[in-house]
Structure 1
Amino acid sequence: MLITGVSSGIGEATAAALAQAGYRVFGGARTPFMVAPIAGVELLELDVRKDEQVRRAVDFVLEKAGRIDIVINNAGVSLIGPVEASSDAETQALFDTNLFGALRVMRAVLPAMRQQKSGLIVNISSVLGFLPAPFMGLYASSKHALEGLSESLDHEVRGFGVRVILVQPNFTNTRLDTNAQQTQAGLPAYADMLSQTLAAVQKQVAAGEAPSRVAGKIISAIRGGHRMRHPANSSARLLAFLRRFAPAGAVDKGIRSTFGLKP
């Protein structure tokens, strides 16, 4: 299997857990020479923003292993700030990793998976793939887009023996959430609300599950029967249930409370 974004967090924990479970794991990172060795994982250079690196990484795995059975699109970046303050460059950079990066990897591996008539693509989404998040609108929209892409692709490729699934973590105690980049432009009109939201997010992250717990859910999703969406823990499952069945007003109120905003 090939996993992107293994330098830290969920990617690192998942690569280590899968290698320990006996899978042959290739882990992609933008700067693999700066990544601490992961037992049983072969590290390779893979920046999902670069077409040539994606093709080269996939060709390398195929040459070494002869096939790719599972791909885990984990590489991702975050951005916090008012949608109004976001620049085109910031927006494009986020989507280039979170959406187009996953798309590049999927396009690169699908020919081999179709030929071998089997394969599984695991896309790491988020609860923000089905919920809004004030001051995280760009991140949430990239995950909403990834979910639509994944579900559509699953319909296209299942006739070739290939399936696509989504894993949806809630806030996780990782550097992605702890050190999330903020929009460079600041707008004083949003300053107080943004400050409250940042404090609420940091509190959620500090109380979030360890990446190893998400890794365990990814392994369960891989080994279980096909289901498109896999909330990664009990809180994510509850949020998915509420999003589907709770009154819209109650969900709206809960979101504002979670992110430190007044009703």
Structure 2
Amino acid sequence: MEQKVVLITGGSSGIGKSIGNLLKSKGFKVYGTTRNLAKYPDFSDFDLLELDVRNTSTIAKAVSQLIEKEGRLDVLVNNAGVGITGPIEETPHEEILKTFETNFHGPLHMIKAVLPQMRKQGDGLIINITSIAGYMGLPYRGIYSATKGALEVTTEALRMETRNFGIRMTNLAPGDFATNIASGRYHAPVLKGSPYEDAYGKTLQSINDDVSSGNNPIQVAEKVYRIINTKNPKVHYKVGSFMQKFSIFLKRTLPDKAYEKLLLNHYKL
């Protein structure tokens, strides 16, 4: 059987690196991406390509290099993403736009870049890594939720638009996993004297605690592997703790205000 070729954005650390290592161990030819290849001179887990999902010229160059070398691309895992926290009123709008550029526009740029090759092959799989946070508007994480929710819904449309080409597409929404996302996240500062000072300060600490005590990202990698081996993937997958996944069920079944009250209680707001 021909070795499947996989491209993972944001593959140099965290969830992306876990996915890459697992798939390589399963016999896949794995390429990861990083914005700055020079930062990883000793990276040897799998091949790394320099690519910034916000820069279409770097995307075109990396995808072209991969296809020229391998002759095909079987799986794209849109994993690259950034976090953002803060009261929406006090979050600089340029930071909001940057987050959408990476978390929403970035995956779309990647999808557009690989679709011609997958269509030519008559086969391909695209897995968009979203977030359980994308199913609900979370206080002080509203912009992050919006970027991931937008990708979830856009994937639903793209699945229908590309299905006749033999291309499969799905969303995988993780909950909180122990990665370095908190260190790279944009935090709107807790401003002294701000009307949000107390509530945002407490919520920010809670968010960071959830990430640092999160599950092992290998669970996301294992889910990706199972999806790749599924003939007809579902529209949506979730991976996380029982309560994180259960929160989506509650969102769908409870009256809006009842669910809102649950969130307010959870964040002690």
- For 2:222, the equivalent position in structure 1 comes to 216
Shift in Å at residue 256 of structure 1? 1.9
Shift in Å at residue 54 of structure 1? 0.3
- For 1:242, the equivalent position in structure 2 comes to 250
Q: Is the 8 A contact 1:46 1:53 kept in 2?
A: yes
Distance (Å, rounded) in 2 between the aligned partners of 1:222 and 1:253:
38
Q: Which amino acid aligns with 1:232?
A: V
Q: Is the 8 A contact 2:15 2:218 kept in 1?
A: yes
List per-residue Cα deviations over 1:98-121 (Å, max 9, x = no partner): 011111100000011111111111
Distance (Å, rounded) in 1 between the aligned partners of 2:37 and 2:21:
15
List per-residue Cα deviations over 1:42-95 (Å, max 9, x = no partner): 111011111100001110110111111100000001111110012221111111
Q: Is the 8 A contact 2:7 2:32 kept in 1?
A: yes
Q: Which amino acid aligns with 1:64?
A: K
- For 2:33, the equivalent position in structure 1 comes to 28
Distance (Å, rounded) in 2 between the aligned partners of 1:243 and 1:110:
34
Distance (Å, rounded) in 2 between the aligned partners of 1:127 and 1:89:
25
Shift in Å at residue 223 of structure 1? 1.6
Q: Which amino acid aligns with 1:198?
A: L
Deviates further, 212-221 or 90-99: 212-221
Shift in Å at residue 2 of structure 1? 0.5
The answer to whether structure 1 residue 160 and structure 2 residue 168 are counterparts is no
Q: Give the alignment partner of residue 78 of structure 2, picking from 73, 77, 99.
A: 73
Shift in Å at residue 242 of structure 1? 1.7
The answer to whether structure 1 residue 229 and structure 2 residue 221 are counterparts is no
Distance (Å, rounded) in 1 between the aligned partners of 2:34 and 2:90:
30
Q: Number of aligned pairs?
A: 260
- For 1:199, the equivalent position in structure 2 comes to 205
The answer to whether structure 1 residue 176 and structure 2 residue 184 are counterparts is no
Shift in Å at residue 179 of structure 1? 4.7
Structure 1 pair 214–50 and aligned structure 2 pair: CA distance change class (3 A): same
Shift in Å at residue 253 of structure 1? 2.1
* 4+ long deviations beyond 4 Å: none
Q: Secondary structure at the match of 1:44?
A: strand
Q: Is the 8 A contact 2:77 2:129 kept in 1?
A: yes
Shift in Å at residue 214 of structure 1? 1.4
Distance (Å, rounded) in 2 between the aligned partners of 1:125 and 1:202:
19
Structure 1 pair 91–185 and aligned structure 2 pair: CA distance change class (3 A): farther
Distance (Å, rounded) in 1 between the aligned partners of 2:77 and 2:20:
10
Written as runs of structure 1 = structure 2, the 5 A alignment for 1:81-230 is 81-183=86-188, 186=191, 188-224=194-230, 225-230=232-237
Q: Is the 8 A contact 1:90 1:183 kept in 2?
A: no
Deviates further, 200-209 or 190-199: 200-209
Q: Which runs of 5+ in 2 are unaligned?
A: 1-5
Q: Give the alignment partner of residue 255 of structure 1, picking from 235, 248, 263.
A: 263
Structure 1 pair 174–85 and aligned structure 2 pair: CA distance change class (3 A): same
List per-residue Cα deviations over 1:23-50 (Å, max 9, x = no partner): 11111101123235243x1111011111
Give the alignment's Cα RMSD to 1 decimal: 1.6
Distance (Å, rounded) in 1 between the aligned partners of 2:214 and 2:49:
29
Q: Which amino acid aligns with 1:106?
A: I
Shift in Å at residue 142 of structure 1? 0.5
Q: Secondary structure at the match of 1:189?
A: coil
Deviates further, 232-241 or 60-69: 232-241
Q: Which amino acid aligns with 1:50?
A: N
Deviates further, 28-37 or 159-168: 28-37
Q: Secondary structure at the match of 2:171?
A: strand
Q: Which runs of 5+ in 1 are unaligned?
A: none
Deviates further, 146-155 or 224-233: 224-233
Q: Is the 8 A contact 2:132 2:245 kept in 1?
A: no
Shift in Å at residue 245 of structure 1? 2.0
Give TM-score, length-normalised by structure 2: 0.92
List per-residue Cα deviations over 1:168-193 (Å, max 9, x = no partner): 01111111135522125847110101
Structure 1 pair 210–178 and aligned structure 2 pair: CA distance change class (3 A): farther
